[in-house]
Amino acid sequence: MQGPRPVVLSGPSGAGKSTLLKKLFKDYENIFGFSVSHTTRQPRPGEVNGKGEGIHRPPMAMAGHSDLFPLCSVPSKAAVQAVQAQNQICVLDIDIQGVKNIKRTDLNPIYISVQPPSIDILEKRLRDRKTETEESLRKRLTAARVDLELSKEPGLFDLVIINDDLEKAYSELKETLLEEIKKTQESRKS
Ligand SMILES: Nc1ncnc2c1ncn2[C@@H]1O[C@H](COP(=O)(O)OP(=O)(O)OP(=O)(O)O)[C@@H](O)[C@H]1O
**What pLDDT does 188 receive?**
85
Residue 53 predicted with pLDDT over 60: no
* Position 72 confidence tier, pLDDT thresholds 50, 70, 90: very low
Query: 140 CA to middle of ligand 1, Å?
Result: 13
Predicted ipTM?
0.99
Residue 165 has pLDDT above 60, yes or no: yes
Q: How sure is the predictor about 2, in pLDDT bands with cuts at 50, 70 and 90?
A: confident
| pTM for the structure as a whole | 0.83
Mean pLDDT along residues 12-35: 93
Which fold would CATH assign to domain 7-182? Rossmann fold (3.40.50)
Active site residue 125: no
| Predicted pLDDT of residue 57 | 37
- The residue extents of the domains of the chain are 7-182
CA atoms within 13 A on the CB side of 55: 29
Residue 149 pLDDT greater than 50, yes or no? yes
Q: What is the whole-number distance in angstroms between the Cα of residue 2 and the centre of ligand 1?
A: 33
Mean pLDDT of 48-75: 39
Q: Kindly list the protein residues whose Cβ atom lies closer than 6 A to any atom of ligand 1.
A: 13-19, 64-66, 125, 128-129, 163, 166, 169
> Residue 78: pLDDT band by 50, 70, 90 thresholds?
confident
Average pLDDT over residues 38-61: 40
Q: What pLDDT score was predicted for residue 37?
A: 43
- Position 75 confidence tier, pLDDT thresholds 50, 70, 90: low
For ligand 1, atom 25, name the residue with the nearest CA: 13
Report CA dihedral (164, 165, 167, 170) to the nearest 10 degrees: -10
Q: What is the three-class DSSP state of 179?
A: helix
Average pLDDT rounded to a whole number, residues 157-184: 98
5 catalytic? Reply is no
Handedness of CA 61, 139, 163, 100 (dihedral sign): negative
Beta-carbon neighbour count of residue 8 at 10 Å? Answer: 22
Q: To which H or E segment does residue 130 belong?
A: none
Confidence of residue 190 (pLDDT cuts 50, 70, 90): confident
Please state, rounded to an integer, the average pLDDT across all residues of the chain.
83
Residue nearest to atom 24 of ligand 1 (CA): 13
